[in-house]
């Protein structure tokens, strides 16, 4: 590693950028709250789609996995903000299922199952690749 990684100025800039990124990401995670207030008030999802929340959940899960210490070092900020994002997205999806019409409500669990399958394979492939790399480093 280069000396710039251990430079206090570099570390401070990295931390400041990480905190700013977390603030903006948190703002992004809470931005659907007015939409969900409307959905709850009208007791209907109207013409809203649940897919953006499923995609956002997938994004949060993948980013959270990336930030895990097993995968990459010094990414606690990535893990924390995406943990919050995962909770928010799950809450939005649950509310969407509660207030969606029956014909739409049927597809959301199917999409969630596909997401779970994809994420499971994603994690397994990464773990397998990590074990291959670790085996090469040890041998």
Per-residue pLDDT of the chain (139 residues; tens, 9 = 90+): 455 567 888 888 988 998 999 999 999 999 999 999 999 999 999 999 999 999 999 999 999 999 988 888 888 899 999 999 999 999 999 999 999 999 998 999 999 999 999 999 999 998 888 887 766 544 4
Q: State residue 44 phi and psi, 5-degree precision.
A: -160, 145
pLDDT at 5: 61
End-to-end alpha-carbon separation of the chain, Å? Answer: 22
What is the value of pTM for the model shown? 0.85
Answer for the pair 92, 36: CB distance below 8 angstroms, yes or no.
Answer: yes
């Amino acid at each position: 590693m280069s000396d710039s990684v251990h430079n206090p100025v570099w570390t401070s800039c990295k931390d400041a950028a990480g905190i700013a990124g977390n603030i903006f990401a948190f703002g992004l995670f809470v931005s659907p709250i007015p939409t969900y207030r409307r959905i709850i008030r009208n007791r209907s999802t109207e013409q809203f789609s649940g897919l953006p929340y499923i995609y956002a959940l997938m994004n949060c899960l993948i980013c959270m996995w990336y930030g895990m210490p097993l995968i990459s070092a010094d990414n606690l900020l990535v893990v924390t903000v995406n943990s919050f994002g995962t909770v928010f997205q799950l809450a939005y999806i649950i509310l969407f299922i509660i207030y969606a019409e029956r014909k739409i409500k049927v597809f959301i669990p199917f999409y969630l199952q596909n997401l779970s399958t994809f994420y499971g394979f994603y994690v397994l492939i990464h773990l397998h690749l990590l074990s291959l790399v670790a085996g090469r480093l040890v041998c």
